[in-house]
Structure 1
């Protein structure tokens, strides 16, 4: 496919200043796109910004993606992560609700066509040649996401908010005998840190209630209520539970998601 010819026909397209073989286009007010050819010219590396487009950040992201594309997708072709990204001027969000590493974006995440399906309606022949590349945070990904998990993370993260805060990788399951709430998924499912902190608080008074949560490194902890909060490492299921206060527990949970 002649990607230069295809992109040249996009409505409102023009050169992306500061990046060879790069383009910028706008489809609607507040929604701006940018793309660049891969180093071998065989793919379009693309991103977008919704009410947050930052040209310097966009150019830096696409430059990094072009230079490190092979490394980004070496471990996982669905959802790859390139470490070592340094945004211009510390661009990026601050602390997340319930966790996050703050201090600006520190990775570039790449999404394969089987995840984003971006052009399936208007340009279905183009979709296989497009990889979405966004600035992101290392704490948001494990690098081991399955295709279904990659799609879920793509939908959760709202990557086109280029001024967003981190949303750390978190899988959780729980059951609360007091609130009668419980997980509907058979295992631990993705959720937001604020939900974890809520469920930990709500354990109080729910005899036999529990919360399990997993961070991006695959470390798992189980917290139960038996007249007090008890926590144990759970990825090996042989950790000895210890009593912990609520304040310490909430701080621990937030730290565990930031590493």
Structure 2
């Protein structure tokens, strides 16, 4: 397939200023796409934005992806990331990319094109472990909302919990993906719930377990044998935030 010929047929497509073999198209107001040929010309690296498109950021992310595509997918062939990205005015420190089986962007519209497209987006290093399997990669890709280019970080977080006071508990057998705000909520709601616990895991695979026994107690839980220590809620929340952004 000649990717240039395919892209040339996209609605309102035009060359992307500042990057060779790259294009911009916007089929409807507020929805923008930018794409660039990979370094070997065999794939389309594509970025999308909903009500947040900035050409400078798009050019920088696609250029970085083209130069570091092999590095991006070195650890994870489904949802890869490479650190070292910078864009003036933005806090992004990473460029990530999703494989065709994760994004399925053209699965129905153009099935022949879908396998040749990698969806690229600016991101944050704390959002990826490098160990995400296909199902997890799909979940993370959706959670991160990669077409919102002015978003804040959504740190990698897996959690398991049970609260004896509220009756709330995890429905999955192990730790599952969630957003940091849920961790903050559950840690606060443990107050007064004897026997309640929260386990949380960061991108490095480090795990901590927090229990309530008249106060909050935290233990390193990598081997399920950590020694609990008492900790105040404010210190606990600051500790959790720091570990998730590590």
**TM value normalised by structure 2:** 0.99
- Residue 116 (structure 1) aligned with residue 103 (structure 2): yes
Aligned to 1:96: none
TM-superposed deviation, 1:121: 1.4
Q: 1:191-218 deviations in whole A, cap 9, x for unaligned?
A: 0111000000111111111000000010
Counterpart Cα distance in 2 of 1:27 and 1:118: 15
Q: 1:111-157 deviations in whole A, cap 9, x for unaligned?
A: 00000000011111100000011000001111111101100011111
Which secondary structure state, in structure 2, belongs to the residue aligned with residue 153 of structure 1? helix
- Residue 216 (structure 1) aligned with residue 198 (structure 2): no
8 Å CA contact retained: 1:86, 1:106: yes
8 Å CA contact retained: 1:110, 1:133: yes
Aligned to 2:89: 90
Aligned to 1:136: 123
Aligned to 2:63: 63
Pick aligned residue for 1:187 from 147, 156, 174: 174
Q: 1:206-246 deviations in whole A, cap 9, x for unaligned?
A: 11110000000100000001111110000111110001111
Aligned to 2:32: 32
Counterpart Cα distance in 1 of 2:38 and 2:89: 25
Counterpart Cα distance in 2 of 1:86 and 1:250: 29
Counterpart Cα distance in 2 of 1:131 and 1:221: 35
TM-superposed deviation, 1:82: 0.9
TM-superposed deviation, 1:90: 3.0
Which secondary structure state, in structure 1, belongs to the residue aligned with residue 203 of structure 2? coil
Gaps of 5+ in 1: 92-103
Aligned to 2:21: 21
Counterpart Cα distance in 2 of 1:75 and 1:158: 22
Counterpart Cα distance in 1 of 2:148 and 2:142: 12
Matched pairs, number: 246
8 Å CA contact retained: 1:90, 1:105: no
Counterpart Cα distance in 2 of 1:164 and 1:51: 11
Counterpart Cα distance in 2 of 1:27 and 1:209: 51
8 Å CA contact retained: 1:229, 1:244: yes
- Residue 75 (structure 1) aligned with residue 75 (structure 2): yes
Counterpart Cα distance in 2 of 1:178 and 1:241: 21
Counterpart Cα distance in 1 of 2:16 and 2:89: 21
Counterpart Cα distance in 2 of 1:207 and 1:253: 21
**TM value normalised by structure 1:** 0.94
Aligned to 1:127: 114
Aligned to 2:133: 146
Aligned to 1:237: 224
Gaps of 5+ in 2: none
TM-superposed deviation, 1:28: 1.2
- Residue 173 (structure 1) aligned with residue 160 (structure 2): yes
